Structure 1
Amino acid sequence: MPADYDLELYDAGGKSAAAPAERGKRSEEVRRKLPAGRYYLKVSGHDGAWSARLPYRLDLETVGPAKP
């Protein structure tokens, strides 16, 4: 990420489902096998910081179940 933004993934009930293994990196990612359902990704500036000049870019990839 261009600036120091943090990621966290939440389930439909608002419970934390995943966070990056290493926070504070320029590029963070969350990789986790999760059951089907609704999830929310929170992107926030570290310690409330943000930058109008350095926005974040979000790429999302989902993988369906393996074919038999």
Structure 2
Amino acid sequence: MEKGKYVELLLLIELAENCHRDMMILAAKHQADADRAARKARAFEHKAVRLQRQLEAAEDSL
């Protein structure tokens, strides 16, 4: 294999490794954002259930 082609392949491998690393970092960030959104959604759902129970209790006391 000629030296120029060998160097080109090494650079392509390094580029691929860097791209893979960047994609893994981005995937982890998106997963963290999704986890955070899911926690907020569950908290909102619990709050809605609590308010529904309060409303039902208020209606029962009328």
The TM-score with structure 1 as length reference comes to 0.20
The TM-score with structure 2 as length reference comes to 0.21
User: Whose helix proportion is higher, 1 or 2?
Assistant: 2
User: Whose strand proportion is higher, 1 or 2?
Assistant: 1
Q: Which has the higher contact order (CA 8 A, sep 6+)?
A: 1
Based on CA coordinates, which of the two structures has the bigger radius of gyration?
2
